[in-house]
Chain A
Amino acid sequence: MPDRPMIAIENVSRFYASYRALDDVSLEIGAGEFFSLLGPSGCGKTTLLRLIAGFDVPTSGEIRIDGVTSTLLPANRRPTNMVFQNYAIFPHLDVGENVAYGLKRLKLDAAEERRRVSDALDQVRLTGLDRRKATELSGGQRQRVALARALVMRPKVLLLDEPLSALDKKLREEMQVELRSLQKAVGITFVLVTHDQYEALALSDRIAVMFGGRIAQVATPKEIYQHPRTRKVADFLGGMNFLGARLVAERGSDVAVETARFGTIRLERPKGFAAPDGRVTVGIRPERLRLLWDDERAPHELVGRVENRAYFGEVTHLTIGVDGLEKPLSMIETNDYGADDLPLGAEIRLAYDPEAFVLLAEDGVGR
């Protein structure tokens, strides 16, 4: 938990008729944090962002921003500013007028206003474009104008609604780096909504993964990737091999589970984990499985055959069939030793690290 919450969301729900867009969500976002709301479309992440921005009012619950109860405050009276998904650049104004839009109300003197506008444009590397018409901007430039227009207000919280989803891949990756360094430079709280797990992992200090109007897990990118709490979270954050297992022993926070072919694995038990019938799911990431070449040996080995192969340039994705397993394993290999040339049906040996397994709760269990 952050030491001083900038945003506190307490038991917030938002229902549309009988549809539960947000269902009893509680969350704290710290000052200066880069926080991401990650989830598939319809999971409620945008609804939550709009509640923080003040475009919508929760059905129940409370929202505090910087200690001020803001649940019912309209957007214009909150210290938040938003970068919209479609950027919402005013088409009847030029770039400078767009950026200065919110400053007009502050009644600054003309020189001060000009200085803040040009500072904001410098910040997003659009120096000197203030006379450009809004309709003559590229996608990347529109995004920068939207950023400058929000940042010039010096908000306490910057809200970003899928700001990069309209850009092509290369520009998106560039903007990710820029967004991260911009956040470090201005030091304010950023709340990013995204459905792109790599974007969330690369940018955030912490991530909240959401499904069906609820928060499934809140953690740092590393923790959420390496120790996903539920099967759905694990699945959403990248490839994962799921294996059915049986609980055989419990001691303190350690448990031992019995799996087909991988034998008995000792795992740390997550807080609140329960498996009344002793049946559990464990998972291992594809990149934690490794091919063994020639007479190389490893303490934990498994024999399988190549069932499918997909070439991705720097890596190859392999599907390995193993006798006694319900589903084939997927794994990712670098192409240094020729994984991309393995013929289909080839017998291979693979090494795994039992430490790399995670114990996963079924969804809805342990809430």
Chain B
Amino acid sequence: MSSAAITSAPDAPKPATGGRWRHSEEARGLAMISPTLLYALALLLVPVLLVVAYSFWTQNYLEIDRSFTLENYRQALTEPIYRDLFVRSLWISLLTSAITVGFSYPIAWFISFHGGAHRNLWLFLVTIPCWTSYLLRVMSWKVILGYGGVLNTGLMSVGLIDQPITSLLYNANAVVITLVHSWAAFAILPIYVSLQKIDRTLIEAARDLGDGPLRAFLRVTLPLSMPGVISAFLIVMIPTVGDYVTPKLVGGKDGVMIATAIQAQFGKGANWPLGAALSVTTMVLVSLVAAAVVLSLRVAVRRIR
């Protein structure tokens, strides 16, 4: 103890000694955030814990049997229907986030590097679709992709097709298209922020050291904007895995995702514990896939030399 007392700075606050700790900056800081902290805990952490707890219980007709069981997880992981839904949900969300990031990056790059004095106007325009209801945006894709929709009639009047394409709506593709459009703004903004933070002389230095524009982008701009790309990926991927509205409206039979099954268990199925187990499994799976994506993106960028 004495050696620790010597090495620590003389004026450093000691959190252990009660009276002084109450006047320390740490204590004041905690006091200041505690109302919002408690609010956040009550509304975020408690519901999650409740769901986790439910997943280990059993539905006994109208009552809940609170004895510990792994039966729900056995069902969630072995029933073929759930396995298919998990795979499809993860695949759709992975595809959606990859396409969203791929489309958003050039937009963010353009605004950041060539937006000029109108950058803020461009950003404002990017957020405009978010001003209408999510439901309306999904419905409008039905109008575009439908049998007699804008796309089909348009293509027919130009003469590219003779009869309407039926494969546009009510499948996984329609879900991906709709989700990409809905989430684009949420991907553009973090990528834009990380591009804005890049010191432009670094790109000049790369050019000066012999890189053409493309190589300078791959070796300097892209690696330095990776934090934005990764957050964009996560921001899109995590919520879309559990999306319910879009698959319900444009997904049809082939576009059903896990959220529909979870909703069924909490609703008509009246098996809350199984619904909870499906939710928890989704959370764990999406975390694992997200971690894998982050790692492989980092490695991929690290390999560009």
Contact indicator per residue, chain B 196-221, by CB within 8 Å of chain A (1) or not (0): 00010110111111111001000110
- CB contacts (< 8 Å) of B202 on chain A: these are 88, 90-91
Would you call B208 and A104 a contact (CB within 8 A)? Answer: no
Complex contact A92–B223 (CB within 8 A): yes
Chain A residue nearest to B220 in the complex (CB): A90
- The answer to whether A75 touches B201 (Cβ under 8 A) is no
* A298-B147 Cα distance, complex, nearest whole Å: 108
Asked whether, in the complex, the Cβ of A88 is within 8 Å of the Cβ of B210, the reply is no
Chain A residues, Cβ within 8 Å of B305: 104
Which of A84, A90, A105, A153 is most buried by chain B, counting CB atoms within 10 A of its CB? A90
- Size class of the contact patch on chain B: 10 to 19
Report B-chain residues with C-beta under 8 Å of the C-beta of A54.
Answer: 207-208
Interface residue? A69 (CB, 8 A): no
A-chain residues with CB within 8 Å of residue B209 when the two chains form the complex: 76, 81, 101-102, 149-150, 153
Q: A88-B199, A104-B305 are in contact. Are A75 and B208 (CB under 8 A)?
A: yes
B210 — which chain A residues lie within 8 A by C-beta?
76, 102, 105-106, 153
CA distance A69 to B201 in the complex (A): 25
B211-244 interface (Cβ within 8 A of A): 211-212, 215, 219-220, 223-224
Interface size class of A (residues with CB under 8 A): 20 to 34
Interface centre among B206, B209, B210, B305 (most CB of A within 10 A): B209
Bound-complex Cα distance A85 to B205 (A): 11
Selected contact of B206 from candidates A80, A101, A150, CB within 8 Å? A101
What is the chain A residue whose CB lies nearest that of B200? A88
User: Given A149-B209, A153-B210 in contact, is the A84-B204 Cβ separation under 8 Å?
Assistant: yes
A149 to B206, CA, bound (A): 11
Contact A82 B205 (CB under 8 A): yes
Q: How far is the CA of A55 from the CA of B201 in the complex (A)?
A: 10
A:27-58 near B, CB below 8 Å: 53-55
Docked-complex contact B224 and A86, CB < 8 angstroms: no
Q: Residues of B contacting A88 with CB < 8 Å?
A: 199, 201-202, 204-205
**Chain A, interface SS category:** mixed
Taken residue by residue from 231 to 258, chain A's Cβ proximity to chain B (1 for < 8 Å, 0 otherwise) reads as 0000000000000000000000000000
Bound form: Cα–Cα A148–B47 in Å: 57
Given A86-B199, A86-B201, A88-B205: A76 in contact with B224 (beta carbons within 8 A): no
CB-based contact A75/B204 at 8 Å:
yes
Q: CA A75 – CA B208 in complex, angstroms? A: 5
The CA of A187 and the CA of B220, in the complex, are separated in Å by 31
Q: Is A74 an interface residue (CB 8 A)?
A: yes
Nearest-neighbor residue (CB-CB) of A85 within chain B = B201
Encode B90-134 as 1/0 by CB contact (under 8 A) with A: 000000000000000000000000000000000000000000000
Instruction: State in angstroms the CA–CA spacing of A268 and B123 once bound together.
Output: 65
Which of B207, B211, B223 is the one whose CB lies under 8 Å from A55? Answer: B207
Chain A 144-161 interface residues, beta-carbon cutoff 8 Å to B: 149-150, 153
| Contact status B205-A105, CB under 8 Å | no
A80 to B207, CA, bound (A): 11
Q: In whole angstroms, how far apart are the Cα atoms of A80 and B199 in the complex?
A: 21
- When distances are taken between beta carbons in the complex, the residues of chain A under 8 Å from B206 are 90, 101
With a CB–CB cut-off of 8 A, which chain A residues contact B212? 74, 76
Bound Cα distance A74, B224 (Å): 23
Instruction: Say yes or no: B199 contacts A75, CB within 8 Å.
Output: no
Q: How far is the CA of A227 from the CA of B207 in the complex (A)?
A: 40
Quick check: B224 and A55 within 8 Å, CB to CB?
A: no
Which A residues are in CB contact (< 8 Å) with B220?
Answer: 90
Q: How far, in angstroms, from A193 to B305 measured CA to CA in the complex?
A: 31
Question: Looking at B199, B205, B220, B223, which has the most chain A CB atoms within 10 Å of its CB?
Answer: B205
In the complex the two chains form, is A75's CB within 8 Å of B207's CB? yes
Query: Smallest Cβ distance from B58 to chain A, in angstroms?
Result: 52
Q: How far is the CA of A139 from the CA of B201 in the complex (A)?
A: 17
Assembled-state Cα–Cα distance A81/B208 (Å) = 6
Of chain A, the residue at the smallest CB distance from B215 is: A105
- Bound CA–CA A55/B200 (angstroms): 12
- Would you call A55 and B204 a contact (CB within 8 A)? yes
Q: List A contacts of B215 (CB < 8 A).
A: 105
Residues of chain B with a CB closer than 8 A to A150's CB: 208-209
Once the chains bind, are A105 and B211 in contact (CB under 8 Å)?
yes
Q: Is the CB of B208 within 8 A of A53?
A: yes
Q: How far is the CA of A90 from the CA of B205 in the complex (A)?
A: 9
Binary interface encoding of chain B residues 180-205 relative to chain A, with 1 for a CB under 8 A from any of its CBs, else 0: 00000000000000000001011011
- Closest partner residue, chain A, to B201 (CB atom): A88
Q: Which residues of B contact A92 (CB under 8 A)?
A: 223-224
A76 touches B208 (CB 8 A): yes
| Given known contacts A91-B224, A104-B305, A76 and B211 CB-to-CB distance under 8 angstroms | yes
Name the residue on A nearest B216 (C-beta): A76
CA distance A153 to B210 in the complex (A): 9
In the complex formed, the residue of A with least CB distance to B206 is A101
Residues of chain B within 8 A (CB-CB) of A76 are 207-212
User: Which B residues lie within 8 Å of A82 (CB)?
Assistant: 204-205, 208
Selected contact of A74 from candidates B201, B205, B207, B223, CB within 8 Å: B207
Residues of chain B within 8 A of A75, CB atoms compared: 204, 207-208
A-side contacts of B205, CB under 8 Å: 82, 84, 88, 90, 149
Q: Which residues of A contact B224 (CB under 8 A)?
A: 91-92
- Shortest C-beta distance, A110 to chain B (Å), equals 12
Q: Which 7 A-B pairs have the closest CB atoms?
A: A102-B209, A88-B205, A88-B201, A75-B207, A105-B210, A82-B208, A76-B210
Q: A54-B208, A75-B204, A102-B210 are in contact. List 18 more A-B contacts (CB 8 A).
A: A53-B208, A54-B207, A74-B212, A81-B208, A84-B204, A85-B201, A88-B204, A90-B202, A90-B206, A91-B202, A91-B224, A92-B223, A101-B209, A105-B210, A105-B211, A105-B215, A149-B209, A153-B209
A/B interface sample: 11 pairs, CB < 8 A: A55-B204, A74-B212, A75-B207, A76-B209, A76-B211, A81-B208, A82-B205, A86-B199, A88-B201, A101-B206, A153-B209
Interface residues of B (CB under 8 A from A): 199, 201-202, 204-212, 215, 219-220, 223-224, 305
Binding site for B on A (CB under 8 A): 53-55, 74-76, 80-82, 84-86, 88, 90-92, 101-102, 104-106, 149-150, 153
